[in-house]
Amino acid sequence: MTVLHVLGVPSSAASYAPGQEQAPRALREAGLLDALTASGWQVEDAGDLTMQVWSPDRARPFAQNLTAVASSVRELAARVASLTSSGERLLVLGGNCTVALGMCAGLRDSGLEPHLVYIDRHFDLNTPESTREGALDWMGVAHGLAVEGSADELLDALGPRPLLVPGQVSFLGVEVDGATGFEREQADRLHLPVVPLHDLVAAPRDSARTARSALPDEPFAVHLDVDVLDFIDAPLAENVNGRNSGPTVDQLGEALGTLWQDPGCRALSIGELNPVHARADPAALPRFIDTLADALAT
């Protein structure tokens, strides 16, 4: 039986508000580990990393809680490296989207060149200099690529720069019209491959294959921001603006299953799930867990 390590990163430090730090516990309490075991895995619960709860950072308004975020990413990278060095697979429960950085840094530290399929409604290509929002979870990929204007403290936490280069990142599910002008400029400048949101909805499996094919035929990881989902179908995300657009949970499951069943897929991280929002629909979290277990089944 294949081992699947499950690691929690209960942090909302990079977010817009508290909530996402509750996600790892909520997923476990709703039966995620039992569902994964039933789907064929030998589940090894690696526990949770340091709890971090968002608070307003008035000293660094455009890079909120930067020191805490850098610490979390560094801690995650060290654990990922230790859990993946034997070739076993990994599921990271965030937290916010900066978990993708820690996951990729840890894979690199374990000896793998990081490659990433990034499933998100957003590019996350902003920097503290390009936006006044201040939430670092909207800036993760920019820091992975070391885009000019990124915060040095977070870049330093990732190890040698850059963590990722063009050709190592492929986007799936981006709502391109909703991106900032700066993000679209970076995506164009770096020639980053993008499968847009409407394609993901129309053909989940084909879209996943297209996103995967944009990367080399080498080991890769997947990051999922649940805000790619239609918020009306499943009110799980921190960002509530994805109403009446995006894939259903079932459609997302088709895409995730296609990626996870690829022999090169080594790890999956999940971010931006807010259990407070999920309480609006008591069936949403169990549906998500069932779909995730089916997608990851051995």
Q: Which residue has the tokens 């070391």?
A: 146
Q: At 118, is the secondary structure helix, strand, or coil?
A: strand
- Strand arrangement, sheet containing 194-196: 42-48, 3-9, 89-94, 265-271, 220-225, 116-119, 169-174, 194-196
Contact 277, 19 (CB under 8 A): yes
Instruction: Determine the pLDDT at residue 228.
Output: 98
Residue 195: other Cβ atoms inside 10 A: 24
Instruction: Determine the pLDDT at residue 1.
Output: 63
Instruction: Determine the pLDDT at residue 258.
Output: 98
Q: Which stretches of the chain drop beneath a pLDDT of 70?
A: 1
Q: What span, in angstroms and rounded, lies between the C-alpha atoms of 268 and 215?
A: 16
Instruction: Determine the pLDDT at residue 93.
Output: 98
Q: Across 49-129, where does the E strand assignment appear?
A: 89-94, 116-119
Residue 184: other Cβ atoms inside 10 A: 16
Q: What span, in angstroms and rounded, lies between the C-alpha atoms of 270 and 13?
A: 16
User: The domain spanning residue 148 has which CATH number?
Assistant: 3.40.800.10
Q: What span, in angstroms and rounded, lies between the C-alpha atoms of 165 and 185?
A: 16
- Can you give the C-alpha Rg of the chain in angstroms? 17
- Partners of 5 in the β-ladder: 44, 90
Total domain count for the chain? 1
Contact 38, 122 (CB under 8 A): no
Residue 276 is part of which domain span?
3-295
Contact 165, 145 (CB under 8 A): yes
Instruction: Determine the pLDDT at residue 54.
Output: 98
Average model confidence (pLDDT) for the chain?
A: 97
Secondary element (H or E) of residue 115? none
